[in-house]
Each structure stands twice: as structure tokens, then as C-alpha cells.
Structure 1
Amino acid sequence: MQPMSLMNALYSRFERMIDPFGPHEDGPPPDKLLPFFWQYLKQAWPLFVAILIAGFLFTITEVAVFRFMADIVDYLTHTRPADLWRTHGADFIRMGLILGIAWPLIGLVHSLFLRQAITSNFPNLIRWQSHRHVVRQSIGFFTNDYAGRVASKVVETASAVRNTLTTLCDTMLYVVIYFGSAIVLFFEADYRLVIPLVVWSIVYGMVCTFFVPKLGVAASEGAEARSALVGRIVDTYTNIQTVKLFAGTRHEDDYVREGLLNNSRKWQVQERLITGLDTATSFLNSILLLVMAGLAIWLWSQGQITVGAIALVGALTQRLISMSNWVMFQVTSLFENIGSVQNGIETISRPHTVVDAAEAPPLDIRRGEVRFEHVGFGYGSGAAAISDFDLAIAPGEKIGLVGPSGAGKSTLVNLFLRLYDLSSGRILIDGQDIAGVSQESLRAHIAMVTQDTSLLHRSISDNIAYGSPGATQTEIDRAAERAHAAGFIPALTDSQGRTGYDAHVGERGVKLSGGQRQRIAIARVLLKNAPILVLDEATSALDSEVEAAIQESLLELMTGKTVIAIAHRLSTIARMDRLVVVDGGRIIETGTHEALIAAGGLYARLWARQTGGFLAESVG
């Protein structure tokens, strides 16, 4: 086997040691720092133990180098050249084997565990499990935060956990082994050499105790400021069309500038602390080097240590000084990462507010009867949005929800989809309380077209088949035809040269017009073919001609289904089986279009204000 092939096989073996997508505990991650770390560490702890063992052996070997240097100096000082190999040949062979073979191999093993086994897949394991928890949060969770900020925390927290654990493994190991070895080696040379080292280490620890806690606080605040900045920038980019339409570029400049200034202020506090720490460490290190050098030379002048001991003291002291600066850098990085983890925990570890009941069964729809029984709901501490709402919808009945803006129509639909939990009452589908069945099965049996259609930044085919993953391309084509979308799809192209059904539509579908997005959404619902259909201003983005054509497809789709439709253009739902007029979260009128017109109530007044529109002749 070729050397590169052998190394690639070795890399692959270590890269497979962690399966990011393997089985794991469900539920929210712990909301405390140490349990949060343990949640993920326990899934890969043998690899971290291997890093510690390999790191221990590598560091001990590195320390041995300084002992070898001292021995070599003494050999050369006290042995004649002709007798050097005969007297110390075995020692040179031992040194060569350790330094030439053992040390590089141990370093390779350490790197394989660190770089191949942990660095790539361990953060992905954390990201995957965090994402699976976060994506199942309620709609309220996402409406109260920046999407970019949440995504930033999911991605960055994983890297921070990995960096913290690997830094602890390497840094603490180096500190313990180097410091312990220095004391032993200095004591062997002369016990007085240990005194400056002990004094230095005590003062060094006091300096760390002063600066490190402050660095931890500053790092946490800096991580929060960075996440907020990312959220502001992503918010601007996501809503770029609104920014352009309202000439808001300067306003967004100010908005992002404010975030940048706050981010700078927080990180300046941290950098000041780091500068102070670096300066204090430099003074300490200079004093240690001067004292150790002076003491070693004095002891040599008194004939109490050898030249080799001086070489050992000088080299090891210089290494300790270099290591102290490295440790400071690592400690700073460590607390930055811990701050990022603490900041991320606040978002990632929030428990779900809308959860399935234990062992919740899937929804079983046989007829499609829907009942709202004394339903009540309010957003936060404000007034109730829905109050004592009662409505029975027979299997296959087509209901139109009508009312002024803010009447509670969309809230009712959100409650029906269990995007929020009820404050009181219950909603039944074929006698099954939706709070007692799994959310996935509930939404799988309901197809919905909304007014504000947003598509995934994926291909046209992926978007149409999103609710029907097993759909064939023929079925996708047929759904597009029925939604009157097949006419414009072949002409679509994207920046990667993909065309037609393979073309990607941009974030939230921004590369398509409103009418085109709506037709793709309708095609998606046509393909899903769920037994319950919800239409929330489904044709509001379409012109009258296309709307008339789409209505034919929707009427076909509604046949044999239970339908709940919302429309401000009353003409689009006037021929539903029954209209339910809602105001202030309550039903104030119900009946057919003709009966409500004759009653002269709120519906009649809303109808009088509108003219034109499509009026379906019949509903299947």
C-alpha cells in the first residue's frame, strides 16, 4: 500500500470514531455550565482520555529533551573524545530512539485523536443535537429572537465546547507536567533552585486569580454582543427588499453601526484585561529569568552544580517562560470559549413550551370532523385573543372564517395547528384532542397555504415535494400543472446554472414573484393531498385571471375534505358551505353568504365595502 493511501486509511479510521448523528438522549440540554459540558463529553470521553494519555507521554518526552541536553553537556565536559562512544554510546542510542522514533509517533497519535477524531466530528455532534432541540421550539421562540442570532449560537457554542475541552486537556497537562518536572530536575541539581520557581508560581497564580474571573465576565458579554451583531446583520440581509423599498439603507447603517459599537466596547474591555495580564506576566518572567540565571551562575562558581545543570536550568526556565505566555493565551481563549458556551446555553437549553404528551399516539383521521370547545388563548400578559370559542365543523364541510383584521382568525388557525398551546378548552379532530397526539402527525394531516408564502432556498422540485418526500418527478410536474406553475418554471435559472425544476429560488423564495411563490405553495399542497385543508389568504398574491384558474384547482382539491378558509376578499369564500364571522376572538355571526347578507350584520357591512372578485359557482 502506498504511504499516502496508508495515511488516508488511518485518517479515515480516526474520523469515523465519532458519529455525529448517532443515538442520543432527547430533551433539552442542561442549563448549567458543567452539566452542559458533561452532556456531550460523556458521548466521547474515551477519546479525550486518549488525548490526555498521548499528551502526557509527548510532554514527558519533551521534558526529557532538557535532561538529555544537560547530560550531553556533562558528557562532553568530562569525557575525552576518544572515550565518548565507548562510555556513553548506549545513552546516545537510547536518546536517538526516544527522540527520533518514539516522540514523533506519540505526536502522530496525539494529533490523530485531536485533529481527526475530535476536531471535526465532535462539534458537529453538538450542533446536530442542539439543532434538533432548537428546531422543535415553538413559533413563539423564533418570533422573539433573531434567526441569525439563534443560528450563530448553535454553530459557535459547539466550537466553544470543543475548544474548551481540548484546551483543558492540553494546557492543564502541560502546566502540571512541566512545573512538576522542573521542580524535580531543579531539586536534583540543587534545592535552592526550586525557591525562585515556587515564589514565581505563587505570584503567577495570584495574577491569574485577579485577571481570569474578570476575563470570564468580559468574554461572556463579548459573545452576547457578537451574537446580537450577527442577528442585526442577518435581519437586514433577510429583509433587504423592505430595506430597498423604503430607502432604509442609511437607517440600517445606523442600526448595524450601533451593534458594531456595542460589540467593540465589550471586546475592548476584554482586550484591556488581556494587555494588563500580558504586561504583568512579562515582568514576572523577566524577574524569574534574571534570578534563576544569577543563582545558577553563583552556585556553579561555588562548585555546587555542573555546567550541564546550568544548561538544564537555563533551557528549562526559558521553556517555562515561553509556556507561561502560551498558557496565558490559552487561558484567555479558554474563558472566551466558556463565555460563549454560557451565552449559548441561554438560548440552546431553553425547554420546549409546546411538547407532545408522553407516548403521544399519531393522529388517526377517518372522517375529518373538527370541534373547537370553549377555546381560550392569549399572547403573554395581554388581553385574550380568543375567548370561549365554540365551533363544530362536520366532516367534509367547507368553512370560511371572516372578520376584520385582528379579529383572531389567524390565531385560530395557529391554535388548530398547535403552534401554540391553548389557555383553556380543547380542539378535537375525529374526537381526538390535538394536545394528546404527536405534533408531527397532526401537521402531516393538515395542508395549508398562507398569505405570506416563504419558500426554502432549494430547488423548485424540493419545495413542491416538501410535504411529500417520496413524490416522483412525474407527480411533482403534475402538481405544478394543476397549480398553473408549469408555465414559468422551465424559464427559471439560478447563479449556479441550474434551470427549471432544479433552479434554486433564493432565501424565502425572493427570486420569484409573489404570484409565482403562491403557485409553488399551492402545488405543494396539491401534492400533499391531506384530508384537512387550511387556506389563509391563499390567492391574495394572484391576479384575477390566475386566481380564477387556481380556484378551479382548489375547488378540485377541496372535494371530500374538511376546509377552513380565511380571506379578506369575501368573494373568494362566499360560496363556502358556511361562513363564521369572528370579532374580538368570538363568533358573532354564522350562516351562508345569502343568510348573512340578509341579516344585515357585520358580514353585510364588510361585503358592502368590497366590489368585484371571484365568486365560485360551486364547491365540491
Structure 2
Amino acid sequence: MTAAYRWFLSLIDPFAPADGAPPQALWPFVRWALNGAQKAIGLTLAVTFTAGLSELVAASFTGWIIDGTAAGNHAGFWEPFWPVILFGVVFFLIVRPILFAADAGVTSILLGPHLFPLVLSRLNRHTLGHSMRYFENDFAGRISQKALQTSRALTDVVTEVADVGVYSLAVFGGSLLLMASIDSRLLLIFVIWGALYFFALRHFIPRVKLRSAARAGARTQVTGQIVDTLSNVAAVKLFAHNTFEDRATLRELETFRRRALEFGVLSSTFRMVLMTLGGMLPLFSILGALYLWTAGTATPGDITMTAMVATRLSQLTNRIGRVAISIYTNLGEIQDGIDTLAPAHEITDRPDAATAAAGQGALRFEHIQFAYGGKVTALHDLSLDIRAGEKIGLVGASGAGKSTVVSLLLRLYEVEQGRILVDGTDIRDLTQEALRQSISVVRQETSMFNRSALDNIRYGRPDATDAEVFDAARRASAHDFILTLQDHKGRSGYDARLGERGVKLSGGQRQRIALARAILKDAPVLVLDEATSALDSEVEAEIQAALAQVMQGKTVIAIAHRLSTIAQMDRIIVLDQGRIVEAGSHADLLARKGLYARFWDRQSGGFLGAQAAAE
């Protein structure tokens, strides 16, 4: 790679982070997304503009030849025409090819491959920073499509503006100067035509933009519907709802069809108007030049130049129309993407937030009040102290607030009232990354990537060695079944892919891999949210023994409906409707004969026995 080529590519860093959050308005968003690419875009515009001007030089060359032949005779070739011939050789065989090669290069080498990853990486980075509430309120497929759509649309806008817009501007601007050099009356024809063309664009473009945005929105609804169906295809099949889901998709497709028809009618009318205007220019400009020739104020070469320039602009008219529709269609899609992707983050790091947590994992919840932003309160004035290394079990009926406590600790949602401390530090004084690096979590709904088993476990600590991954898998009773895995491409064992969301694994296998991931992370705080709910009794016993080792020296918060899994905890906290109603050891709580004792009685057979006696 030559130094010039490296310099050329260095004009734009395709992975440069953006400054701040994306603005909500269209043009500020465009500046945010393209910031850092100004040199590359400026070079592209300059090269394209120069290439456009070269078209006028070509037309002028033809005019010079015709005027030269009209003034000369048939006696010589080289002597009267050598300056024009030499100019033609240099221009058409050297300068013009280099110009158009450079024009193609800045568009297809510099802009195309770099702008798309630049915009997409910035949107993806911002999207990852959204709170859980954001992702719960939308479809993952729809969000990802919006990011791809917006990145592609903005890339297309820049390349089309450079490739056609600036090129056409150069041709039109140069044409005005060329016509002015012939006769001001020819210039007037071009000016009037340019004004009509401008007003046509001004009338149609906003309407095209609006209908394009409506079409884009309808298309994403179709995508969201299909993604939602396919993501839950097991439920569709189990409930025999193929027809039901098909009708739902057809309804969304019908809406898209109507929006596409509205857009198609408008764009067809727009094209017809542009083609009419495109036909007007060569007709009236050539007739005007012909009139000037009859009046003796224009030469045959002037007529030729006028005809070539006007015809070239007429040909560009159709292309400009298509590109104008495409540009404003893309602008509509960009605005549609902004509405979905660019809202401000609900949870942000403070400017002076610490980038690392220090301590052994002591936790403190102070007067927590939380309602998920609604009116139904999930936690009521909850206060709880957990010593470093203490093992806590959270118990309660569904909806009592157990998982909410964990979500607030992880700052997946922002505390509405009160505060949470980790080793004496408010979690809002830590960056979100620093906070979550100090906590290992195994949830009831395990998260699996469509990557190898090795990569899924190593996600807990990306710098872990293979030996450390294998050890974590053994401690989670996952090693043996991982060795038996094989995917559709023949990869086996730790190299086998697990499928999207781990669909190729059983629930118990997914949880064992999630446990191995948490073991490998080795954080001072361990959260087990129904971590053994999908395991059979034999495997659960194996993992409980492994967890007993893993929990040594760690602060543990365990949520479980099966009370036998948390009976050995240092302390059990009983929640009811968002409040702590009981706290103590397993034996203490049984002796109180309160809510925990009733839960235990039901799970240990007392409830079934009472029911049998009643019958």
C-alpha cells in the first residue's frame, strides 16, 4: 500500500466515536453522524465538481473544431488544427480519464466503504446505552433494522449528492457562463429553465419526503410483525396460530401497500414534470441559438456547444429527478430512524463517575421507592443492609418486587426515590460499566449468543484462557454435555455454535452455561435470579455443591421460588407487594409461622395434605 493511498484512506476514520448524543432534528443529526468525515466529503465534492466542469470543456472542444473548419479550408490538417488536436489528446486521453477515475474513487473507495460503518457504529453505540425500558417497549428486529436503514440512507444521501447533485450543479453553473459568453439571451433561456426546475423540486420534494417517511414507517411495522412472529415461532406452532399470524402480517402489508401506492403516484407525477422540463431546455436553447445564427451573432460552433450542453442537461434532468426522489426518500427514512434511535438515554453516567468499584461487595438499599415510571408502585420504602460476604435469599410471590430489587441494583432502571450503595458508594457515582463489572448475574431467562460455547462462557471474562473457561464449565456441571455438542456445520464441543438465543440447548443446559459464565467472571457480588429453576433435581444438587464453593467470600443475592435452594442462606428476606415483611434465617422464619412458613408448608407437602384432608 503506497503512502498516497494510506493518506487517502486516512481522510476518514470509519469507527471514530461521536461527540455526545445524537440530536433529534434532521440536519443536526446529519452533522453529528458525519462529524469527522468533512475532509473526505470535501475532497469528494471538489473532485466531482471538477469532473462536471470537464463536460463543458468537451462541449467547447467540439465547438472549436466546427468553427475552425468553417473558417478554414481542406488543404491542411496538422498545421491549422495542431493546437486543438494536441489539446484534445491531452484532455480526452489523460486529464478526463484521470478526473473520472478520481470521481469514481472518492465515491466508491473513500465514501461508500467508510461512511456506512461510521454512522452505524455511532448509532449502535448510542442504542446500547439505552435503558431496559427502551428495549422492552420495542422489537429488537425493528430497532436493528432502523439502525441499518438509517446508516444506509445517510450514506446514500451523501454519495448521491456528491455523485449527481454537485456534478449537475457544476454542469449547470458552467453552462450559464458558457451561454453568457455567446449571448445574454441564451443565458436567459437557461436561467428561466433553471427557475422552473427549482420550483418543481420545491413543490414535489417535501411531499415526496413525507410519503417516503410514511412508507418507511409502514415497512418497519411489517418487519416488526414478522420478527415478533418468528421470534415466538414455538408458541405459534404450539397454539396452531399460523393462520392468525398470517392475517396479522397481511394487515400490516396492506397498510404498507397503500403507503407505497401513495408514494408511487406522487413520484410518477414528479418524473413526468421533470421529463417535460428536460425536453424544454434543448428545444428552446437550440432554437434560440439558431435564431442568433440567422441574426449573425452566433457561429455554427456556438449552436453545437449549445446543443451539446442543453442535451447533456436534459439527460441529467431525468437522473436528477430519480436522485432527488431517492435523496428525499432517504431523508424521510433517516428522520424515521432518528425518531426511534436518537431519544436521549434514560440512564446516563455522571461526568465525574468512578470507572472502577473498590470493596468486598457490601450493599445498602436506603428508602427505595420505584414504580417503573407508572402509578403502581413496585417497591415501597425498601431499606436493606447486606454485609460483604453475606448470603441473602429474596422470597415472595410473583410480582412482590424481587427482580425489581436486582434490576435497580444493576441500574437497569434508575431509582426513583432513595439510593443504593455499593461499599458505601452511591451506584450513580459509578459508571454503569464499573458497577456491572463488580456483579455476576445468572437470571431465570438466560442470554445466549449465536456463538460457540467457548465464546458464550468467555463472555464473563473476555481475557480468560481456554483452561479457565473449561474449569468454570466443570464447576457449573456443563463440561460433559458441551463435549457432546455439534452444530449444522460440523463444529463440535466448545467450538459448536449454540443457535440464536441458545435455541439448540435445553433450559438446564443454557442455565449451566450461564452459571459457568458467572463463575468465570468472579465478581465480588453474585446475583442468582432463579438460577437453578430449569434444572432437574440431580443436576441441581450438583450445581448447588458447585455454588457453595463459588459463593465463598462473595456477597450473594439469590431469588428462588423453590425455597429449598435458599434455605441455607445467612438471611432470608420476604417481600410482599414491594415491602419487606419478614427477615431472618430459615429456622427463625419457620418459627414465626408467618408468610415464609406458609410458602414452605405449601412446597413441602403441607398444602397438599390439607387439601386431601378437606376432600
Please give the range of the TM-score, normalised by the shorter of the 2 chains: over 0.9
2:567 is matched with 574
Given residue 8 of structure 2, which amino acid in structure 1 is its aligned partner? Answer: F
Q: Distance in 1 between matches of 2:18 and 2:150?
A: 18
Q: Distance in 1 between matches of 2:33 and 2:21?
A: 12
Q: Distance in 2 between matches of 1:449 and 1:48?
A: 47
Task: Please state how far the C-alpha of 1:24 moved relative to its aligned partner.
Answer: 4.5
2:465 is matched with 472
Aligned residues, how many?
606
Kindly indicate whether residue 13 of structure 2 is the aligned counterpart of residue 14 of structure 1. no
Task: Please state how far the C-alpha of 1:366 moved relative to its aligned partner.
Answer: 2.9
Task: Please state how far the C-alpha of 1:16 moved relative to its aligned partner.
Answer: 4.2
1:175 is matched with 168
Give the alignment partner of residue 539 of structure 1, picking from 532, 553, 572. Answer: 532
Give the alignment partner of residue 74 of structure 1, picking from 67, 72, 75. Answer: 67
Deviates more, 1:94-103 or 1:253-262: 253-262
1:610 is matched with 603
User: 1:536-594: per-residue Cα shift (whole Å, max 9, x none)?
Assistant: 11111011111111111111111222111111111211222221110110011122222
Give yes or no for contact 2:139–2:228 (8 Å, CA) kept in 1: yes
User: 1:54-78: per-residue Cα shift (whole Å, max 9, x none)?
Assistant: 1122111111111111222223333
1:251 is matched with 244
Given residue 502 of structure 1, which amino acid in structure 2 is its aligned partner? Answer: D
User: 1:426-448: per-residue Cα shift (whole Å, max 9, x none)?
Assistant: 11222111121121121111111
Give yes or no for contact 1:75–1:84 (8 Å, CA) kept in 2: no
1:366 is matched with 359
Q: Distance in 2 between matches of 1:362 and 1:69?
A: 69
Give the alignment partner of residue 480 of structure 2, picking from 480, 484, 487. Answer: 487
Given residue 150 of structure 1, which amino acid in structure 2 is its aligned partner? Answer: I
Matched residue of 1:533: which SS?
A: strand
User: 1:298-334: per-residue Cα shift (whole Å, max 9, x none)?
Assistant: 4444544333223222222211111111111111111
2:310 is matched with 317
Q: Distance in 2 between matches of 1:56 and 1:108?
A: 13
Give the alignment partner of residue 101 of structure 1, picking from 94, 103, 109. Answer: 94
Give yes or no for contact 1:363–1:432 (8 Å, CA) kept in 2: no
Kindly indicate whether residue 421 of structure 2 is the aligned counterpart of residue 428 of structure 1. yes
1:31 is matched with 24
User: 1:379-438: per-residue Cα shift (whole Å, max 9, x none)?
Assistant: 122211101001112222211111111111110110111111111111122211112112
Cα 1:370/1:192, change in 2 over 3 Å: closer
Given residue 459 of structure 2, which amino acid in structure 1 is its aligned partner? Answer: Y
Cα 1:191/1:20, change in 2 over 3 Å: closer
Cα 1:310/1:366, change in 2 over 3 Å: closer
1:233 is matched with 226
Give yes or no for contact 2:186–2:288 (8 Å, CA) kept in 1: yes
2:581 is matched with 588
Cα 1:428/1:69, change in 2 over 3 Å: same
Task: Please state how far the C-alpha of 1:13 moved relative to its aligned partner.
Answer: 5.4
Q: How does 1:370-449 map to 2 (within 5 A)?
A: 370-449=363-442
Give yes or no for contact 2:62–2:301 (8 Å, CA) kept in 1: yes
Given residue 254 of structure 2, which amino acid in structure 1 is its aligned partner? Answer: L
2:609 is matched with none
User: 1:179-224: per-residue Cα shift (whole Å, max 9, x none)?
Assistant: 2332333343444333433332222222212111111111222222
Q: Distance in 2 between matches of 1:327 and 1:375?
A: 60
TM-score normalised by the chain length of structure 2: 0.94
User: 1:574-619: per-residue Cα shift (whole Å, max 9, x none)?
Assistant: 2222211101100111222222223222222222222379xxxxxx
Q: Distance in 2 between matches of 1:153 and 1:94?
A: 51
Task: Please state how far the C-alpha of 1:101 moved relative to its aligned partner.
Answer: 0.3
Given residue 77 of structure 1, which amino acid in structure 2 is its aligned partner? Answer: A
Kindly indicate whether residue 259 of structure 2 is the aligned counterpart of residue 266 of structure 1. yes
Give yes or no for contact 1:578–1:591 (8 Å, CA) kept in 2: yes
Cα 1:291/1:111, change in 2 over 3 Å: closer
Give the alignment partner of residue 34 of structure 2, picking from 30, 34, 41. Answer: 41
User: 1:29-55: per-residue Cα shift (whole Å, max 9, x none)?
Assistant: 222222222224330211222112211
Give yes or no for contact 2:34–2:119 (8 Å, CA) kept in 1: no
Give yes or no for contact 2:11–2:39 (8 Å, CA) kept in 1: no
Q: Distance in 1 between matches of 2:300 and 2:351?
A: 75
Matched residue of 1:598: which SS?
A: helix
Q: Distance in 1 between matches of 2:359 and 2:273?
A: 76
Q: Distance in 1 between matches of 2:423 and 2:194?
A: 74
Given residue 526 of structure 1, which amino acid in structure 2 is its aligned partner? Answer: I
Q: How does 1:54-203 map to 2 (within 5 A)?
A: 54-203=47-196
Structure 1 ranges of 4+ moved more than 6 A: none
Deviates more, 1:243-252 or 1:384-393: 243-252
Given residue 397 of structure 2, which amino acid in structure 1 is its aligned partner? Answer: P
Give yes or no for contact 2:141–2:223 (8 Å, CA) kept in 1: yes
1:212 is matched with 205
Q: Distance in 1 between matches of 2:245 and 2:8?
A: 47
Deviates more, 1:14-23 or 1:277-286: 14-23
Give yes or no for contact 1:401–1:409 (8 Å, CA) kept in 2: yes
Q: Distance in 1 between matches of 2:177 and 2:40?
A: 30
Q: Distance in 1 between matches of 2:75 and 2:34?
A: 57
Q: Distance in 1 between matches of 2:548 and 2:568?
A: 11
Unaligned runs of 5+ in 1: 614-620
Cα 1:30/1:303, change in 2 over 3 Å: same
Given residue 585 of structure 2, which amino acid in structure 1 is its aligned partner? Answer: T
Given residue 159 of structure 2, which amino acid in structure 1 is its aligned partner? Answer: T
Q: Distance in 2 between matches of 1:523 and 1:180?
A: 67
Task: Please state how far the C-alpha of 1:12 moved relative to its aligned partner.
Answer: 5.9
Task: Please state how far the C-alpha of 1:360 moved relative to its aligned partner.
Answer: 0.8
Q: Distance in 1 between matches of 2:480 and 2:34?
A: 54
Deviates more, 1:328-337 or 1:285-294: 285-294
Unaligned runs of 5+ in 2: 607-615
1:336 is matched with 329
User: 1:155-174: per-residue Cα shift (whole Å, max 9, x none)?
Assistant: 22122222222333343423
Task: Please state how far the C-alpha of 1:374 moved relative to its aligned partner.
Answer: 0.6
In angstroms, what is the RMSD of aligned CA positions?
Answer: 2.1
Q: Distance in 2 between matches of 1:413 and 1:285?
A: 66
1:511 is matched with 504
User: 1:269-289: per-residue Cα shift (whole Å, max 9, x none)?
Assistant: 222111011111222333434
Given residue 139 of structure 2, which amino acid in structure 1 is its aligned partner? Answer: Y
Matched residue of 2:441: which SS?
A: strand
Matched residue of 2:275: which SS?
A: helix
1:618 is matched with none
